Amino acid sequence: MKIAGICMVRNAVDFIGLVVLHHLAFVDQVYCVDNGSTDGTAKVIERLRRRTSRIDLLSDPEIRPKREYMTALARRAYRDGFDVILPFDSDELWHTTRANLREAFKQGNNVVRCPVLNFIQKRSVEKPSCVSWRHAIRRCAITDPATASTRVRSGEISFLECEFLSKVAFLADPSAEIHAGQHGLNRLNRRETQSTSIAIFHLPMRAKSELLKRVYDYEPRGAKVRDGPEQNWQGLYWRSRVVGGQADSEWAALSYDERAELSVGQRRVATFIDRRLVAYLYRAVSTIRYGFVGLQTLLSSFEK
């Protein structure tokens, strides 16, 4: 079984190197397209490509729906002979093994749907550094998913209290078409199963500045290809909060304070410890393959 990871990335220099190294621990090749980064992201990935010879890096700054980029990468991996496709974003880590993937695709399944678990950053991290991810050791309980987006936009709950839409891994096929956000897949003879052993660890807000980046960098580009107001509703919501002068209160709802709680208006939301995402990142840093490339990637993330 040959496994390919695929991703599209833009301006994630603090995180993308370790994310790619994490996936190289159990995939055979990573196909990545850099969508016009200006912060050194492509430089970090290019260094990894030279050291590992297991990354296919493309550059395309054009504004097109992300699903088109991801579908093109998946079909390219199929043509190159890969069997399994794992799509991931620059803030996501697949929690799986090759054995779990092999088991998931037994009995004729060709699409595996996996839950997404959101991790929470510490309130004091206003700008990311090459090691600020080490504070992302908490999660919170999930509220009613049926009304989550409405309740977030009304200020009743935090985005992190939402049940995030599940995402998919799938068997490579020339007919595969990836949905927005990798939340689904169209393909011939589709046979889907829900995994109980595989998940995606997601760190959507690595620092307060990430909120501003989503509003002033990601959202203007996304607006040009948005199909409707419910597609990436989070971007529209965060724009309204930041433009309305509520960036501080929104960050308070997205991060834990010294009492390990989110501040959602007048509500205090308890969090609990989950160190698995950070453990994966430490493992990526300490990998000795390719001559301690993990440590070098960490140190090079914010070179001036």
Length of the chain: 304
Interval 230-256 mean pLDDT: 92
pLDDT at 289: 78
| Best CA proximity match to 168, nearest among 216, 109, 227 | 109
pLDDT at 304: 45
- For residues 9 and 272, the answer to whether their CB atoms sit within 8 Å is no
Which pLDDT band, with edges at 50, 70 and 90, does 171 fall under? Answer: very high
Percent of the chain with pLDDT over 90: 76
Q: Say how far apart CA 215 and CA 212 lie, in whole Å.
A: 5
Token pair listed for 258 = 């010294």
Q: Phi and psi of 298, rounded to 5°?
A: -60, -50
Where residue 183 falls (left for φ over 0; alpha for ψ -120 to 50; beta otherwise) is alpha
- For residues 20 and 48, the answer to whether their CB atoms sit within 8 Å is yes
What is the helix (H) or strand (E) element at residue 114, kind and residue range? Answer: strand 111-114
- For residues 297 and 58, the answer to whether their CB atoms sit within 8 Å is no
Task: Please say if the pLDDT value at position 4 is more than 50.
Answer: yes
**How buried is residue 37: exposed, middle or buried, by Cβ count under 10 Å (0-12/13-18/19+)?**
buried
pLDDT at 298: 73
Domain ranges of the chain: 3-114+165-202+280-300, 121-161+205-273
pLDDT at 303: 62
Q: What is the pLDDT of residues 132-151, one digit of tens each?
A: 999 999 999 998 776 678 88
Interval 270-299 mean pLDDT: 86
Considering only the top CATH level, what class is 3-114+165-202+280-300?
alpha beta
pTM metric for this prediction: 0.94
What is the helix (H) or strand (E) element at residue 260, kind and residue range? Answer: none
Q: What is the pLDDT of residues 47-85, one digit of tens each?
A: 999 999 999 999 999 999 999 999 999 999 999 999 999
Contacts of 59 (CB under 8 A, 6+ apart): 33, 34, 36, 42
Question: Lowest-pLDDT range, 75-79, 116-120, 220-224, 252-256?
Answer: 220-224
Which pLDDT band, with edges at 50, 70 and 90, does 11 fall under? Answer: very high
Q: CA torsion 233→237→238→241, rounded to 10°?
A: 180
According to the 3-state scheme, what is the secondary structure of 159-219? Answer: HHHCCCCCEEEEECCCCCEECHHHCCEECCCCCEEECCCCEEEECCCCCHHHHHHHHHHHH
Token pair listed for 216 = 């002033």
pLDDT at 189: 92
Tell whether the torsion through CA atoms of 198, 204, 205 and 209 is positive or negative.
positive
pLDDT at 108: 85
